[in-house]
Structure 1
Amino acid sequence: MGQHIRDYTGRSLYRFLNWDIFLAWVPVMLALLLDGVFSFYRQRRISWPLRIVSGVLVVSWLLFYPNSAYLVTDMIHPFVHYKPNGRFVHDLEFWYHLFLFVTAAVVGLGLGTYSLSSLQLLVAERYGAVRSWVFACIVLVLSSIGIYIGRFVRWNSWDVFTDPHKIWSDVVHIVGDPAELHFMLVFSSMMLVISLVGYLVMRGGMFRLQGRSSRW
């Protein structure tokens, strides 16, 4: 996605965006695997190995899900890295930079909508529509906090397994610092609004296209 921008600007500042977009696809791949596992459930008797596999997939999905909407926060980079000459709003290069990250943010919200909607349907099938929406809202709240952690505390999804002591230390620091806690709550609330609105709009459009509105 960023190749044309680099060709135009002669910059290679945004190579990280390829990695961020890849991470945004990981929850989609995990959701597809879960769909396959549950399809297997419907056809055969559930065994404990499959329960373990599905549990690992769900936990992994929860840890990687914030990477999708995380792309929204990448929109800060044009303002951080771009060096304007004069009034930047009249500089075409700046708009190339900005449109790149706006496009990435929309892609991230779309990928997040697809994977969360997929799991919500699985929850609705087993526990009903109301509980599926409770599940979706909880995931969006946790994801918004996860996006704050990824952007400002700089955790990765896999740090839960590779460096749990650091995570515990950072949590204690955040909770014990009123200014940091306030910033986290406000930022996470803004991300929650963006994620929720994006999810409702994109999910509604997706279901209308598929003719599956009745499964909400």
Structure 2
Amino acid sequence: MLFFAKMYHFMALNVLLAYIPLEISFHFKQVGRRMFLLLGSFWLLFYPNAPYLFTDFFHLERLSIYQGMNQIFGQSLSDWLSFSLLTIGICVYGFLGMATVITVINESFQRNILKKKWQGLLLIVLINFLSSLAIFVGRFDRLHSVHLFTKPVQTIQLIFFDWSVNKVLFVLLLTMMQLILLASIAGLKGLELIE
């Protein structure tokens, strides 16, 4: 994206941010319970960057291949390259990042942090709800994960204490979308290639 997408250079940063929870999840098995809780906290701070990628699909409207409602798609190869790079970045890092929720839940059960199935399901819903809140402030208030460190009070206030009807509806919609995507990911994890 950084080198080939002529109009989606910003996606390189978005994909990098979505990779952070994936990288953190690689280290869960190597640490003890306390360090897992610390790593899990950092994971939760950066996790919303993965499902946030799916909101970047609206940038497709900038491509000339989508101009005109009644026209056949354009054949601009550079636009189709941009389309491909955007879609690959969103899907690969969006889905891989979201799959780390399953890793967090499994590790939490193995460490006896969670003991019952309903606790795992409740944690999944809570993670996705918090993620949807973060996506809302990221998309509409233009906050980034780093603002939790540079402007912690304003960021927390904006996330948790500044509500509107649109914010509630958006958060509920995105929470449902994430739950459906996670259910799809969980279903795909059970598939195996036939030899």
Q: TM range, normalised to the smaller chain?
A: 0.7 to 0.9
Task: Give, in angstroms, the shift of residue 149 of structure 1.
Answer: 1.1
Aligned equivalents of 2:122, 2:188: Cα separation in 1: 21
Q: Is residue 194 from structure 1 mapped to residue 180 from structure 2 by the alignment?
A: no
Task: Give, in angstroms, the shift of residue 169 of structure 1.
Answer: 5.1
| C-alpha distance 184-96 of structure 1, shift in aligned 2 (>3 A) | farther
| CA deviations over 1:52-84 (Å, ceiling 9, x no partner) | x333211111110000011101111122x3356
Mapping of residues 43-122 of structure 1, within 5 Å = 51=34, 53-79=35-61, 81-83=62-64, 87=68, 89-93=72-76, 95-122=80-107
Secondary structure of 1:209 counterpart: coil
- Contact 1:72-1:104 within 8 A present in 2 as well: no
| CA deviations over 1:84-135 (Å, ceiling 9, x no partner) | 6963652134555444433333223311332111011012232233211211
Q: Is residue 147 from structure 1 mapped to residue 135 from structure 2 by the alignment?
A: yes
Q: What TM-score, normalized by structure 2, do the two folds share? A: 0.81
> How many residue pairs were aligned?
186
Residue in 1 that maps onto 2:122: 134
| C-alpha distance 162-55 of structure 1, shift in aligned 2 (>3 A) | farther
- Percent identity, aligned pairs only, is 22
Q: Is residue 34 from structure 1 mapped to residue 28 from structure 2 by the alignment?
A: yes
Task: Give, in angstroms, the shift of residue 28 of structure 1.
Answer: 1.0
| C-alpha distance 86-209 of structure 1, shift in aligned 2 (>3 A) | closer
CA RMSD of aligned residues (A): 2.6
- Contact 2:134-2:159 within 8 A present in 1 as well: no
Q: What TM-score, normalized by structure 1, do the two folds share? A: 0.74
Which has the greater radius of gyration? 1
- Contact 1:72-1:102 within 8 A present in 2 as well: no
Q: Which runs of 4+ in 1 moved over 6 A?
A: none
What are structure 2's unaligned runs of at least 5 residues? none
| C-alpha distance 89-16 of structure 1, shift in aligned 2 (>3 A) | farther
Which AA in structure 2 matches 1:140?
N
